[in-house]
């Protein structure tokens, strides 16, 4: 009888402990200060609510040391050229993304051709106003930046929107004046251009 009573007592104790373990803990929030008016996210860490907020990425660049005045002058020219053509690359990116969205909304071939024609007209108008005045070096940088922003070379974009023959014809003309529509962008090879873009404020 004593053994049964002891056994029953152990069962009750174990059951009581398990019930206590299953009781939800009330999260403890930090005390608010006088000026704490900004709502932030929080994480429950063993019953203690820890507030947190996501911060923007901060890039730190060391001051560059030039080997010679000529090297610094070359970098300054590159910076000027990159800043000159970067807005055109961003325009191409936005316009091409808009074209893809518009094409996805319709399955009618006639309407799709009209959308491509309108996009082509806008880019040509910009070309006639400003891009035709670019130097060969600026044009070469622009083709690289279009690949960087759009994820496709200028040749691929022309081929998709105008067809393979048009892309081939444009490439021949481009090669005559020193351009290459198939130019690709490599942030490692083109690290000076990448550094200029990241420190220029285009993505703030």
Q: Tell me what pLDDT residue 110 has.
A: 85
Instruction: Identify how many contiguous H helices and E strands the chain contains and give both numbers.
Output: 7, 2
Question: Tens digit of pLDDT for each residue in 146-158?
Answer: 888 888 777 777 7
- What is the mean pLDDT of the segment spanning 174-196? 81
Token digits for 99? 């074209």
Q: Tell me what pLDDT residue 17 has.
A: 44
From the centroid of its chain, how far is CA 162? 27
Average pLDDT of the chain, as a whole number: 76
Tell me how crowded residue 111 is: count the other CB atoms within 10 A of its CB.
Answer: 13
Question: Would you call 68 helix, strand, or coil by DSSP?
Answer: coil
Q: Tell me what pLDDT residue 30 has.
A: 66
Q: Tell me what pLDDT residue 10 has.
A: 46
- What is the mean pLDDT of the segment spanning 120-136? 74
Tell me which of 5-14, 94-103, 129-138, 151-160 is least confident.
Answer: 5-14
d(CA 127, CA 147): 18
131 band by pLDDT with thresholds 50, 70 and 90: low
- What is the mean pLDDT of the segment spanning 18-44? 64
Q: What is the pTM of this model?
A: 0.61
d(CA 197, CA 93): 15
- Answer yes or no: is pLDDT of 142 > 60: yes
The domain limits of the chain are 79-198
Residue 73 φ/ψ, nearest 5 degrees: -65, -40
- Answer yes or no: is pLDDT of 18 > 60: no
């Amino acid at each position: 009888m004593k053994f049964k009573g002891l056994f029953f007592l152990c069962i009750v104790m174990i059951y009581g402990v398990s019930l206590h373990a299953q009781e939800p803990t009330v999260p403890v929030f930090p005390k608010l200060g006088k000026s704490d008016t900004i709502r932030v996210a929080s994480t429950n860490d063993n019953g203690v609510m820890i507030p947190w907020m996501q911060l923007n990425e901060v890039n730190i660049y060391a001051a560059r040391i030039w080997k010679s005045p000529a090297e610094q002058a070359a970098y300054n020219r590159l910076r000027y050229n990159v800043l000159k053509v970067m807005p055109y690359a961003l325009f191409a990116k936005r316009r091409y993304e808009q074209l893809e969205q518009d094409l996805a909304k319709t399955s009618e071939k006639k309407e799709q051709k009209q959308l491509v024609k309108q996009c082509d007209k806008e880019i040509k108008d910009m070309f006639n106003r400003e891009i035709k005045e670019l130097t060969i070096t600026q044009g070469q940088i622009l083709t690289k930046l279009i690949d960087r922003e759009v994820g496709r070379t200028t040749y691929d974009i022309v081929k998709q929107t105008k067809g393979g023959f048009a892309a081939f014809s444009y490439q021949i003309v481009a090669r005559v004046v020193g351009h290459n529509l198939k130019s690709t962008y490599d942030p490692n090879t083109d690290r000076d251009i990448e550094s200029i873009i990241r420190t220029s404020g285009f993505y703030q």
